[in-house]
Amino acid sequence: MSSLKKWRRGVVLSGLAASVLAGCETETMVVKPGDVSSCMVGDVKCEQSRLYTCETDGRTGSWSFLQRCAKGCAEDLVTCLDEETVVGCRSGDIRCVRDMLQECVSSGGVSSWKTDGACEEGCNSAGTACRVPTSPEPNPGKCTLGAQKCEGSTVYQCRTDASGTAGWRESEPGALGWTASEPACAPAGGGVLCQEGALHCESSSLYQCVGGEGGTAWSFLESCPQGCSEDGVSCREQGVGACILDAQKCEEGEMYRCEVGADGELGYVKGESCPAGCSENGLSCREVVACTDACSAGTECIDAVRYRTCRDDDGDGCLEWVEQSCGGNERCEGTGCVALPTCVDGCVSGSAQCVGKAVQTCRDADGDGCVEWVDGESCEYGCEGGKCRDTWLPPCTTAVCPKAVTNFKETIRGDTSKSKNVISTYTTCSSFGLTSHPDESGPEDYYAVNLPESGTLIAGIKEVGAKDVDVHILTSLSGDGCVARDDYGTAAHVSAGIRYIVVDTYGSSSNAGTYDLKITFLPDSGKCGLKQSTIHRLGGCSAVQLPAAAKVAQEAHLVTDWDRANLLGSAWPTSKTQYISQHVAHTKEITGGYGSGGEWCPSGEGGCSYGQGSTANQVPDIQEAWYINMYWNSASKPARGTKFLVVNPVNGKAVVASGGWETGPGACTHICGTVYEVHQHLGTSHNRVQAIGILDHQDGVGYGPVECE
């Protein structure tokens, strides 16, 4: 037994309109008396590829055939598949149905009845408005169309009158299976009308006996698509290989309909042909759509190996382009393929080679059937072995390959004991106060940097486990590529490009071991960019090319303008410690905590006054806190207050120092001297290595600690 189907309410056609929509074919599914839920006027449903609407003949509600659905029923079971079936009304019409006032409303091309509200007194006799009470109508009580009841000896049925108004109306004795008797109604022939729960099949509809007001009655249960079974109490089951009555399908360009044959069995019967074939769902013919030629008959080349022909390739009667390819020994010219001329391969197909910084591949680029070298991409880091290099590091040709360094903020931990010796002598290094070409026969590590512009490159090492390792700056991986070296730190001005830092072991592998390497780069365009300058010195000392790195002395204090105003007046200190504690305390205040040392310069040597300096002038207090001196002669001595940059190569810390106030130290082995506070910030001490240079941008930074990276 199939489940109950769904239908839509509120969309209705009159019997005349339904006949017009469905053509001459009509079909009625009668709703038996007592059916209170299956069919109410205005309902619509779709079953077995057929659409029905519920109408009334004035007494009962019944299903009236509306039209066939060529593609079957939609999932909502109230419309046909793939089409909008409009069962409507005229926009603006008013009617009254089952005590509800309705108006015909159009939306999206669909007209349907929409309920405006309930009529408290029911509908008027014409069914066009709510009823205005005048005199009571017979049996005005509300009821469900088709229901029946017995009161006393009178049998009633709920049906409409000539005006369409539903109500309880007296029935002829015996007409509904009841007969009048005293004191109450009784079933015709005695007994009961039907046994509650019993089933009865008639006219392809299955009914069930249900209890109601005054007794039992037959109520519509469901439709039987294959009709009633022979026992008359159930629907006929669908046989093996059978189909659903009136169902349609399309196969191989032919339509078939499910019909009852002479043997009483259901089966598909061939119908109309489909000129355009079957639809994708296989339920109907494909729609014949008019087409337009997309091109004119002919052939033309697309490129050297492909062409297209204008023809009807899909059989729709219209022309379209069809793409094809020439044969292996042909090429397309003009309107077709022609044989290729004889040629000779210029290389091995699929191979690649480097030409400068570009890659060339071997392939047939001109379509003549032969391969030749064809230019490809240009390589950012150069070409090697027919491929673009993926790093800026040059190919490694030594026993120790350099490691790329891209982050100058990090300190690198290395170990020369795990490396090999390649370079033993650096013949071109610039060295300040050291042996120019020491024996570096121990193993070394190589590091490479790719500098985007010219600037000052500084490298410093701290021996952790190593006994004696030195640091070098090179422009190439060879001994004659060295530009600067030192035991602990070195510096040099270099141009843009790939430069190398080498940590080499002095003497032999017995001095090798672990170390920490710090690399600092100061681009010329940055705030810490340094000038290339020459300082000529006194006492037969050689000239110094700045920027450079070497040993630095620790200098004592100079008298400041604050000391004159608050401590000394116009006098000079009379001892190396007079007022020195007050001077240091003031320095700490103006530097944020930097200040140390317990003596005035020059500690009594040279015959000058304590704290006097070479200019015999007091120094601005902030400049004295960060001052620098060199053993410059008068021609090289800079203007007072000239800004120098002082860097500790080992940790990269930097200070902007003031020069031009003092000359010294007198030792040629020291590049300069710096005051206590400079050493304090950099973490250095007397005789330790510092890198120095004159700032190119004098107005860019103030005196004191500075972040250059």
DSSP state of 660: S
**Structure confidence at residue 329 (pLDDT):** 79
Separation in Å, CA 245 to CA 44, 185, 232, 264 = 20, 42, 19, 12
Q: Are strands 320-325 and 306-311 parallel, antiparallel or unpaired?
A: antiparallel
Tell me the C-alpha distance between 347 and 392, whole Å.
30
Chain centroid to CA 117: how far? 53
Q: What pTM, to 2 d.p., does this model score?
A: 0.52
CA 534 vs CA 157, 278, 548, 633, 637: distances in Å: 126, 96, 10, 12, 11
What per-residue confidence (pLDDT) applies to 693? Answer: 97
Residues whose CB is less than 8 angstroms from the CB of residue 415 and which lie 6 or more positions away in sequence, other chains included: 445, 465, 512, 513, 514, 515
CB 470 within 8 A of CB 482: no
Q: Of 310, 256, 322, nearest to 283 (Cα)?
A: 256
Q: What is the C-alpha separation between 628 and 76, in angstroms, rounded?
A: 95
Provide block-wise average pLDDT over 10 residues at a time, the chain (709 residues). Answer: 32 31 36 43 74 64 71 74 53 72 68 71 70 50 58 67 67 56 52 70 74 67 73 68 78 88 83 87 83 90 91 84 87 85 88 93 87 91 88 82 92 96 88 69 95 96 96 92 92 95 96 97 96 93 93 95 96 94 97 93 72 91 97 94 97 97 90 96 95 94 93
Domains delineated in the chain: 298-339 (no CATH), 352-388 (no CATH), 403-523 (2.60.120.380), 533-706 (2.40.40.10)
- The predicted structure's pLDDT at residue 42: 63
The rounded distance, in Å, linking the Cα atoms of 219 and 210 is 7
| Model pLDDT, residue 447 | 96
Pairing of strands 533-535, 489-494: unpaired
Show Cβ contacts of residue 679 under 8 Å, excluding neighbours closer than 6 positions: 554, 685, 686, 688
Note the maximum CA span of the chain: 156
**Two structure tokens written together for 457:** 């490159």
pLDDT of residue 144: 54
